[in-house]
Structure 1
Amino acid sequence: MSKRSYSELDYDETDSVSLLLYHAEGLLKAAKALKEEIKASHKSARPHDQIASVLEHSKKIASAAQLLTQDETNVTDQHESGPYKILKLTGTKSSENASTASMIPSPVSLTRWTPQDIPVSGLPPLPRILDPELEQAALTHSGMVTSPTDMNYERLEWLGDAYLELLATCFIYQTFPNLGTGRCSQLRERLIKNETLSNFTVQYGINKRTRFPAEFDLQGRIGGSRATQNARVKVQGDVFEAYVAAIILGDPEGLSRASPWLKSLWSTTLAQEIRNEFNSRARLLPKPPSRGEGGEDAQSAAKQDLNPKVVLSQLVGTKGVKITYSDIGAPKKDKHSGKLPWYTVGVFFEGLGEKNLQMGVGSALSKKEAGAIAARHAMDNKRLMSYLQKKKEEAVQLAESIKPEYDSWDKWS
């Protein structure tokens, strides 16, 4: 390609790149003129006049440099998305629409779940997507477009996936401060896995509004293939993620509308865990003893802070009693994740005339937690606890009545 001067180029003053080239040429011309003036000043008999001319050319150079800097900034703003922008999918190749961007909303304050967040019935209302273009993109499968530049849900799904994981993590972190990170990850997986999100898509009827390829219909492609159930679940989960991203990007308050909706929606999935956490916190609240500082109420409140296994042992354990925890059957798979083992543990009482008496049973993702649940179930059985505590008292009384006889025999032996 032959080299051409800037003057040979056609300029469009409304185009930022053309302005950049135009002002760059002006800077070069001003610098060249300055150079000629400096040479002339060395040969001139009137150097003061030449110096004034040099200063005038210097001002032109400074002005041209300033214009060039502004042009570079404009080009950067128009052709590079900023750190808080994401390109909006418009399905058009015009330069104006191609540079349109939706601002990423500022973070919102996220609070912990309480039982009041759980809907009494049904699901919370589905927020609308306020931007029609984003709505069309979120509800269009990539298999329904003919060009990579056409609208589809792939980029929105990618962003929505990140938002869902972040929001789920924040809600869990705020609500369950005493859970280990492994258990928190298990709860988060229940909220954001494909099966959960796919169910939301179907329950809200979002799948009926989405343009899918024919193979994702219930009957499959006529005379062709039919998507598997796993593939259908995956794309329906992707649609939900894209829908969430479109809500968030669709207006400046999108994140403020999406976060309380997701908080209420997800509470239906973790309803039992939220209630258990709320109840456990309520039990740990300090209560003034009604029978003095060392009364029975104070002792009962102190016991609530202990491990359930320890409390059960204090209630029914005594000399000659053995309390054991054993697996009941082989581990199964967790119904929520389908991958993690699900343990079932029973707590058994032996002694005081009883042999291998099952007091309670519990199931969880770890044997330790399952054993703690089994102990709680045993203590919830008031009839059984009353029966075993009565046998314990009888055994203690019998031991105390026999003790003086042994003491007397030891004294005279």
Structure 2
Amino acid sequence: MSKRSFADFSAGGPESLSQIIEHADALLKAANALKQDLEGLRGDREPDDKVLAVLSRHNKGILNGTQALVEDETKAYSQETSGSHKSQKLEDAHSSANKLPAALPVPPPAALTAWTLEDITKTNLPPLPPVLNPTLEKAALTHSGMVAQRGDMHYERLEWIGDAYLYLMSSAYISQTFPNLTPGRSSQLRERLVKNETLSEFTVQYGINQRTSFPAEFDLKGRIGGSQASEKQKRKVLGDVFEAYVAAAILGDAAGLARVAAWLKALWSKTLEDEIRREHRPRPTFSHVPGLEDNGDTLNNGQGVPPKVLLTRAIGTKGVKISYRDIGEPKKEKNSGLPWYTVGAYYDGLGETDVLLGFGSALSKKEAGANAAENALGNKKTMKRLVKKKEDFVGMSV
């Protein structure tokens, strides 16, 4: 309960301060009169009847004074609780303004479609969607230590929600665009989209960091003449701010989710541009390879026969061994820093020894081997020669 002065009760009516004092004086006067009369009876040998008369004479005044003060207390309490309720309503309104929606919107799968070549944005930065709710916008850009008063929203809870949205939408876009990618490789692509390095860069590119209310040590230039956060800490905070902004833009209005989903699809298309273009690149048919020209075997979109199977079907026979071996030491993939493997496809048999048919590279040896087989199938001169060897051998064996 908040403290209120008696002056707050003097704004009219019987509960005014002067009336309360009058009631107190009346009670004290009645009590003193009772005391004096009782003191006068101390030497009386038979005081009982007289005491009863004295009590009867003074108790009415004492009771009236006491009752008046009780009424004063009741009225004062009524005013206090009335003011408290008004204050509580204001506090409730403030609290309501600082609460997130009870239900978070979930994007329908149909809204998160595969990337196409047309989706790759022509500019590096598609327009930043606005946050249409001022309270959420302020919260997304405010550090917990910089809020105006206790209970105000800040970026941390929005960051947590934004992180979930980023994971959901990036997973959906990758799954739709690269249907044959392994879960491990899909996770690697997703990590490129949602890691702190990527998100913090977006924050700086859009200038969101210039609108934040954060301690000076998290500024890109640090606190002049004072403590500075490490570069890793700065990246983490800038990435968190981006996640908080995403959540605020989604929750800020009914159309926020659709608007942010379209924006992220365009923004991320530049990050995975090489992978998207490779996925939509026309895959070769191998009509130049005898035995594969009429059966419709393709690698289109990865849904045809695996290239290793096609290579074995084209040139494999009894006494022929096709092997896949590492070429050199793994390098580092430029985007993820993960090992980048190069594998060669080798041919042995029918008088040939350790013939390099083709090579391929990828983040996994399995994928690199598949790329090596595809590269070998595209080597028209070598394929023609080895297919002829196979045909001659089979013909001699009949």
TM-score higher than 0.5: yes
CA-based RMSD: 3.7
Superposition deviation, residue 234 in structure 1:
0.7
The residue type paired with residue 95 of structure 1 is D
Residues 238-274 of structure 1: per-residue CA shift (max 9 Å, x gap):
1110110111121121111111111222222223333
Alignment of 1:162-311 (within 5 A): 162-279=164-281, 298-301=294-297, 305-311=304-310
Partner of residue 372, structure 1: 370
Partner of residue 120, structure 2: 118
The residue type paired with residue 350 of structure 1 is D
Residues 152-186 of structure 1: per-residue CA shift (max 9 Å, x gap):
31121111111111222222333333334333333
Partner of residue 347, structure 1: 345
Alignment of 1:51-200 (within 5 A): 94-100=91-97, 101-103=99-101, 104=103, 106-108=105-107, 109-145=111-147, 148-200=150-202
Contact 2:324–2:369 (CA<8 Å) still a contact in 1? yes
Structure 2: 5+ residue runs without aligned partners? 1-69
The residue type paired with residue 213 of structure 1 is P
Superposition deviation, residue 321 in structure 1:
3.7
Determine the C-alpha separation between the residues in 2 that align with 1:215 and 1:94. Answer: 33
**Percent of aligned pairs sharing the same letter:** 53
Structure 1: 5+ residue runs without aligned partners? 19-74, 79-92, 290-294, 405-413
128-137 or 159-168, larger mean C-alpha shift: 128-137
TM-score, normalization by structure 2: 0.66
364-373 or 250-259, larger mean C-alpha shift: 364-373
Determine the C-alpha separation between the residues in 1 that align with 2:185 and 2:393. Answer: 47
Determine the C-alpha separation between the residues in 1 that align with 2:120 and 2:299. Answer: 30
Alignment of 1:23-62 (within 5 A): none
113-122 or 136-145, larger mean C-alpha shift: 136-145
Partner of residue 356, structure 1: 354
Distance 1:212 1:99, change over 3 A: closer
Partner of residue 292, structure 1: none
Contact 1:191–1:266 (CA<8 Å) still a contact in 2? yes
Contact 1:118–1:271 (CA<8 Å) still a contact in 2? yes
The residue type paired with residue 188 of structure 1 is R
Contact 2:350–2:389 (CA<8 Å) still a contact in 1? no
Determine the C-alpha separation between the residues in 2 that align with 1:277 and 1:186. Answer: 16
Q: Secondary structure at the match of 1:350?
A: strand
Residues 115-160 of structure 1: per-residue CA shift (max 9 Å, x gap):
2221133232211112223222222233544755345311211111
Contact 2:202–2:242 (CA<8 Å) still a contact in 1? yes
Partner of residue 10, structure 1: 78
Partner of residue 385, structure 1: 380
Superposition deviation, residue 336 in structure 1:
3.8
Q: Secondary structure at the match of 2:78?
A: coil
Q: Secondary structure at the match of 1:299?
A: coil
TM-score, normalization by structure 1: 0.64
Q: Secondary structure at the match of 1:357?
A: strand
Partner of residue 313, structure 1: 312
Determine the C-alpha separation between the residues in 1 that align with 2:147 and 2:84. Answer: 32
The residue type paired with residue 343 of structure 1 is Y
Higher Cα radius of gyration:
2
Superposition deviation, residue 375 in structure 1:
1.5
Determine the C-alpha separation between the residues in 1 that align with 2:125 and 2:137. Answer: 21
Residues 94-125 of structure 1: per-residue CA shift (max 9 Å, x gap):
33121224534543332222222211332322
Contact 1:320–1:351 (CA<8 Å) still a contact in 2? yes
Contact 1:160–1:244 (CA<8 Å) still a contact in 2? yes
Determine the C-alpha separation between the residues in 2 that align with 1:303 and 1:242. Answer: 42
Residues 49-70 of structure 1: per-residue CA shift (max 9 Å, x gap):
xxxxxxxxxxxxxxxxxxxxxx
Distance 1:96 1:391, change over 3 A: closer
Contact 2:377–2:383 (CA<8 Å) still a contact in 1? no
Superposition deviation, residue 325 in structure 1:
0.6
